[in-house]
Amino acid sequence: MKLAEFEQIAKEALEQLPKELRKKIENVQIVVRDARKPKRGDTLDERELYGLYAGIPLPDRRDNDPARLPDTVILFKNNIEEDFEDDRAGMIKCIQETVLHELGHYFGFDEEGLEDMGIG
C-alpha cells in the first residue's frame, strides 16, 4: 500500500474518534513510519508495535517549561499493514485503538492504567 493511501485511512480513523477527545488534544502530531529493525542493545522491538508515543505526558509538564516541539504519535505502517492487509475496516479499528492507546500516554496513563481502561 502506498503511503498516501495509508495516510488517508489513518485520517478517516482519526476523524471517527470522539469529538470531545479530539478537542482535548493540543500540539500533538500523528506521523506514519515504517518500524525500524532492532539494533543491538535495543530494549524495544518496533516490529511488534503498531504505534508509539514520543513526548512529555500532560501531568509531567510545568507552567514554566520552555516551548517544545509537538508531541508525536507514530503509527507503524508496515506492522499494521502486515496484520490487516486486506481488511480496511480492521485497519481503521486498529489505527483508532492504537491512537487511543498512545494518547492515553499523552494524558499520563501508564501501561497498567491503560489495561485497566480496556485500551492496553
**Residue boundaries of the structural domains of the chain:** 3-59+68-113
Q: What is the DSSP letter of 61?
A: -
In angstroms, how far is the first alpha carbon of the chain from the final one?
A: 27
More confident residue, 41 or 27: 27
Decide if pLDDT at 16 tops 80.
yes
**CATH architecture of the domain with range 3-59+68-113:** 2-Layer Sandwich (3.30)
pTM of the model: 0.85
For the chain, how big is the Rg over CA atoms in Å? 15
* pLDDT cut 90: percent of the chain above it: 47
pLDDT tens digits along 57-91: 999 988 888 878 899 999 999 999 999 988 989 99
Coil, helix or strand at residue 29: strand
Give residue-wise pLDDT tens across range 108-118: 999 899 899 88
